[in-house]
């Protein structure tokens, strides 16, 4: 065979390999930031290519509902928090958790000391900032656990935008923050850490699972789809472990993929350092005990639970079992 023929055969092989790559579209829960670094790392480092995948990552935002995108066929898989996913499932959206890259919760309430909040018992009579759009469920569960009504008689709930203004402007005693994002926005605004009190949901025993991967249930009846998702999860977790080990590089990869130009190097590097604490210890497998704890928390809302009954079929280990073979 001539050198030219060998080159031609090689080119054909490469072309067919490129054509054979399976398309996967991932819908993120929020904008491009280090919260999703593992996926961008897997993309940039060629981990998806190695698994024969052509992955498109779609950023989220305040006007994007991942469940609606998934149900409308705009994505094959989405990142979502389990409270909002299980609430959506009970309301008729058949979403299923196929992997859980985040082992721990990054959610907390951040309070100004001068507001008089030193312990959760001090929440009574205060105004608390809360995110909605599915993010309110862990908070409402926590208030129920504390025996505090959220109708204004015990605590006043301020519907918080995705910023920290209510705390800075002293419209609320406490606001919702993530360990890796909004807390640092408060610090960057000039508030000293010594002037703040934080309550991590993880420490308060009310943490629920965040940033899992979800697909539409009926797709899991297709073995080819399950196999494709196994490759996707395997490559994604390789990306996450690389990001944990190389946080600064991972942050820079995220910046390279931020088409808005809104993110800064310092903030993303700090965020990645915090995110690495949340993915640590996860190989992508959903821990059944963590799932049971989340379900129990969401059902313990008294007269207003997030979900009214324990879900059936809301998660599967089939994908991670295949991914870890």
Question: Tens digits of per-residue pLDDT, 217-227?
Answer: 999 999 999 99
pLDDT: which is higher, 3 or 26? 26
Same domain, yes or no, for 194 and 220? no
- Tell me the pLDDT tens digit for each residue of 85-101: 999 999 999 999 999 99
pLDDT: which is higher, 9 or 137? 137
Backbone angles phi, psi at 303, to 5 degrees: -80, -10
Say if 5 falls within a structural domain. no
Report the mean per-residue pLDDT for the chain.
92
Residues 6+ apart with CB under 8 A from 290: 100, 103, 209
Reported confidence tier of residue 19, pLDDT bands at 50, 70, 90: low
How many Cα neighbours within 13 Å face the side chain of 75? 24
Is 70 exceeded by the pLDDT of residue 5? no
Task: Pick the range with the lowest mean pLDDT from 70-74, 141-145, 212-216, 264-268.
Answer: 141-145
Same domain, yes or no, for 309 and 195? no
22-27 vs 77-80, strand pairing mode:
parallel
Is 50 exceeded by the pLDDT of residue 12? no
- The residue from 183, 200, 217 where one domain ends is 200
- Tell me the pLDDT tens digit for each residue of 285-295: 999 999 999 99
Is 90 exceeded by the pLDDT of residue 199? yes
Give the mean pLDDT of 150-160.
96
pLDDT at 15: 46
Same domain, yes or no, for 78 and 123? no
Q: What is the SS3 string spanning 66-114?
A: HHHHHHCCCCCEEEECHHHHHHHHHCCCCEEEEECCCCCCCEEEEEEHH
Say if 246 falls within a structural domain. yes
- The residue from 200, 229, 259 where one domain ends is 200
User: What is the residue range of 301's domain?
Assistant: 21-103+209-323
Say if 282 falls within a structural domain. yes
Reported confidence tier of residue 145, pLDDT bands at 50, 70, 90: confident
Give the mean pLDDT of 131-142.
84
Say if 123 falls within a structural domain. yes
236 neighbors 51 (Cβ within 8 angstroms)? no
Say if 74 falls within a structural domain. yes
Give the mean pLDDT of 231-252.
98
Same domain, yes or no, for 186 and 224? no
| C-alpha span between 323 and 109 (Å, rounded) | 36
Same domain, yes or no, for 216 and 290? yes
Tell me 312's DSSP state. S
Give the mean pLDDT of 168-172.
97
Is 70 exceeded by the pLDDT of residue 201? yes
Is 70 exceeded by the pLDDT of residue 165? yes
- The residue from 170, 200, 230 where one domain ends is 200
67 neighbors 95 (Cβ within 8 angstroms)? yes
Same domain, yes or no, for 225 and 184? no
Same domain, yes or no, for 318 and 239? yes
pLDDT at 141: 84
| C-alpha span between 71 and 27 (Å, rounded) | 11
* Region label for 207, one of left (φ > 0), alpha (ψ between -120 and 50) or beta (otherwise): beta
| CATH number for position 91 | 3.40.190.10
Same domain, yes or no, for 292 and 178? no
Q: Provide the 3-class DSSP secondary structure of residue 297.
A: helix
Burial bucket for residue 284 (CB in 10 Å: 0-12, 13-18, 19+):
buried
Same domain, yes or no, for 137 and 175? yes
pLDDT at 13: 46
pLDDT at 301: 66
pLDDT: which is higher, 299 or 23? 23
Reported confidence tier of residue 4, pLDDT bands at 50, 70, 90: very low
Same domain, yes or no, for 37 and 96? yes
Is 60 exceeded by the pLDDT of residue 10? no
| C-alpha span between 45 and 54 (Å, rounded) | 13
Q: How many helices (H) and strands (E) would you count in the chain?
A: 13, 10
- Tell me the pLDDT tens digit for each residue of 55-79: 999 999 989 999 999 999 999 999 9
Give the mean pLDDT of 171-195.
97
Number of other CB atoms surrounding residue 189 within 10 Å: 11
Partnered with residue 213 across adjacent β-strands are 79, 99
pLDDT at 302: 65
212-216 vs 77-80, strand pairing mode:
antiparallel
| C-alpha span between 122 and 134 (Å, rounded) | 25
Give the total number of structural domains in the chain.
2
- Indicate whether this model's pTM tops 0.85: yes
Number of other CB atoms surrounding residue 12 within 10 Å: 10
Same domain, yes or no, for 225 and 96? yes
């Amino acid at each position: 065979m001539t050198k030219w023929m060998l080159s031609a055969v090689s080119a054909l092989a490469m072309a067919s390999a490129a054509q054979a790559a399976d398309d996967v579209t991932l819908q993120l829960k929020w904008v491009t930031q280090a919260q999703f670094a593992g996926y961008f790392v897997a993309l940039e480092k060629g981990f998806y290519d190695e698994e024969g995948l052509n992955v498109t990552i779609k950023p989220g935002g305040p006007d994007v509902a991942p469940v609606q995108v998934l149900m409308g066929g705009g994505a094959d898989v989405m990142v979502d928090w389990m409270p909002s996913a299980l609430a959506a499932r009970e309301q008729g959206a058949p979403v299923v958790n196929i992997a859980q890259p985040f082992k721990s919760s990054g959610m907390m309430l951040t309070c100004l000391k001068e507001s008089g909040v030193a312990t959760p018992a001090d929440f009574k009579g205060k105004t608390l900032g809360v995110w909605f759009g599915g993010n309110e469920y862990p908070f409402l569960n926590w208030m129920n656990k504390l025996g505090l009504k959220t109708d204004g008689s015990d605590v006043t709930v301020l519907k918080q935008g995705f910023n920290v203004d209510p705390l800075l402007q002293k419209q609320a005693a406490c606001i919702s923050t993530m360990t890796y994002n909004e807390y640092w926005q408060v610090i960057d605004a000039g508030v000293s850490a010594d002037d703040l009190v934080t309550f991590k949901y993880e420490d308060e025993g009310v943490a629920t699972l965040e940033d899992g991967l979800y697909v539409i249930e009926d797709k899991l009846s297709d073995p080819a789809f399950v196999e494709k998702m196994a490759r996707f999860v395997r490559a994604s977790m390789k990306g996450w472990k690389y990001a944990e080990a190389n946080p600064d590089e991972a942050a820079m990869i995220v910046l390279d993929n931020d088409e808005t130009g809104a993110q800064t190097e310092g903030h993303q590097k700090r965020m990645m350092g915090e995110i690495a604490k949340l993915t640590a210890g996860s190989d992508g497998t959903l821990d059944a005990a963590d799932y049971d704890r989340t379900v129990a928390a969401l059902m313990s809302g008294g007269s207003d639970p997030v979900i009214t009954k324990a879900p059936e079929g809301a998660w599967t280990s089939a994908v991670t079992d295949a991914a870890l073979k």
